[in-house]
Structures are given as structure tokens and as C-alpha cells.
Amino acid sequence: MTKKNIIDFQRMAAEGEKITWLTGYDYLTAKLQEKAGVDMILVGDSLGMVCLGYDTTFPVTMDDCIRHCQAVRRGAPNTFIVGDMPYMSYQVSDEQAVANAGRFVKESLVDAVKLEGGGAAMVSRAKAINEAGILVIGHIGLTPQFMGQMGGYKAQGKSAGAALKLVNQAKALEEAGSCMILVEGVPAAVGKAITERAKIPILGIGAGSYTHGQLIIYADMVGMYDNFVPKFVKKYADVGAIMVQAFKDYVDEVHQGSFPIDEKHTYLMKEEDEKEFL
Ligand code: KIV
Ligand code: NA
């Protein structure tokens, strides 16, 4: 599979070929995702919960994100990788946003960065990052870095006024030079309205089926992360249960002495060497 770029994604959106996007955080998983033919991998700041065990994304640092992006890049050299800008890596100023977006590109060779929010300051950040030559993806709707203001992880854009505000934010981010926009946790009608008005690919997570593509947190869809599972997650496999069973079987076999007992899993000496040695 050859690596897709932004021109491919524009063509896919124009032709109605859906874009597939999963989060990924480590070498092994990225390798499997590339093998499966996933179009894009997001190294989300959700790594704070999925990999580091935090309750929110707030503690995640630039160094955390870059380390994980590097691992994902090694696992998926032919996949479009997006680095997620962590809390306080872009909020303060356009200058900091550009410098940190630049770190993602220089240190982990991501193809694009993503940032949350559709207000005037974030439109300005998107413009500045784009002007530095870096592909930037906007993220609006349910934006976890605004958790305090949202009063928790709740669907957004449910009233006519709130929906219109999201449509306008998407337009502003597009005009600022965003290469794509991710819309999260909104009614399907809002995902549709934003997609119909857009000239750039619109990706959705919990935004209905009308968007140009779909994103999902991989650990949710394979049944590995069960602390909290949002309404929009479809569980495609129960890998967590399979792993727990494998760990239990191993524990039991070691306790019983039935592993390692077979020659298949044991190094053996040549008979004459063993005689001499023993
Ligand atoms: O961090 C992340 O994984 C994300 C997606 C859930 C949208 O931003
Ligand atoms: Na994120």
C-alpha cells in the first residue's frame, strides 16, 4: 500500500470514498493497523487515558506525544499519521503553536497535527501553523480539552443555536487553511450540515454517517479500554477478554507445571554433551 497524502484525501472526499481513521499509540498496534489498510492514524492525546492511566488528557505533555508518534511512525511507515497537540502546547500563542507543531514534524515525522477548538484564537493558530507549511486539522464539537466548560464529556451542538455555531466554526477553520476538520460528538444532522458546506474533508467521531470519513479510538473498538465507553463506540472485538484469558491460562499452566514441559518450548543439549555435563 502506498502512503496516502492530502490530495488523495481530497479526491476520496470528492468521490464519496470514505476515509478510515483510527487512533494508535505504539509500534505494535500501528503495524497491525497499517497491515489492515487503515488510511490514517491519530496519535491522540487520549494516550493519557489509554496508555498512561490518567483520568483526563490534561497531564499529557509534548514529550509524551512525540515519543508515541515516533513509535507509531516506526510501526506504520506508509500511513498518514496525525500528531495530536496536547493541552497547553498551542493555547498560549500562535508562536508556541507553530513551534510545537514544528517539533511534531521534525522529531516524529508526522504528516499533520490536530488541535481542538473553533474560536477566534484557534482559527488564528490554524492559520499560523498552515502558513508554516504544516498540515493542520481542526477538531470541534465535543473537545475534551474544554471539558470544564462543557461540564463533562457530553454531546455538543444539540440546539439549533449551538449547531449553527459549529457550522460557522468549521467554515472559519477551513478559511484559515485547515486541511481537514474532525467533528466529535454531535447529532448526525450537524455532521451532515458541516460536511455539505465544506470544501475540505470532514471526519467524524460520533457525528453520524454523513461525514467523509470516520475516526474511532482503537482501544474502545477492540474492547481493551472499558473505564468509559461512549455511546458512539461500536465494539468490533473483545481483545481485552482474549488477553485476560491468555494471561490466566499461562498463570494456571505455570502453577501446574504444565508449561514449559514440551520439547517445543525448551532448549535441549545434544545427548552426548548432556551426559558429559551431568
Ligand atoms: O485524543 C484523541 O484520541 C482524539 C479523538 C478521540 C478525537 O482527539
Ligand atoms: Na485528542
The answer to whether 64 is a known ligand-binding residue is: no
Q: ipTM above 0.90? A: yes
What's the CA dihedral at 192, 12, 19, 39 to 10 degrees? -160
What global pTM score does this model have? Answer: 0.96
Closest to 25 (Cα-Cα) out of 182, 222, 186? 222
6-237 under CATH 3.30.1440.10, yes or no:
no
Nearest CA to ligand 1 atom 3: 44
3 state SS of 215: strand
Closest to 205 (Cα-Cα) out of 235, 185, 177? 185
95 CA from centroid of ligand 1 (Å): 24
**Contact present, 245 and 259 (Cβ < 8 Å):** no
Nearest CA to ligand 1 atom 6: 217
The reply to whether ligand 1 has any atom less than 6 angstroms from the CB of 143 is no
Q: State the greatest distance between any 2 C-alpha atoms of the chain, in Å, as a whole number.
A: 86
Q: How would you write the pLDDT of the chain (278 residues) with one tens digit per residue?
A: 789 999 999 999 999 999 999 999 999 999 999 999 999 999 999 999 999 999 999 999 999 999 999 999 999 999 999 999 999 999 999 999 999 999 999 999 999 999 999 999 999 999 999 999 999 999 999 999 999 999 999 999 999 999 999 999 999 999 999 999 999 999 999 999 999 999 999 999 999 999 999 999 999 999 999 888 888 999 999 999 999 999 999 999 999 999 998 889 999 999 999 999 98
The reply to whether ligand 1 has any atom less than 6 angstroms from the CB of 43 is no
Residue 22 β-bridge partners: 41, 216
Domain boundaries, the chain: 6-237, 242-277
Active-site residues: which are they?
Answer: 184
44 CA from centroid of ligand 1 (Å): 5
Tell me the best of 41, 45, 46 to mutate to test the pocket of ligand 1, counting ligand atoms within 8 Å of each CB and taking the most. Answer: 46
* DSSP secondary structure letter of residue 240: H
Distance CA 34, CA 40 (A): 9
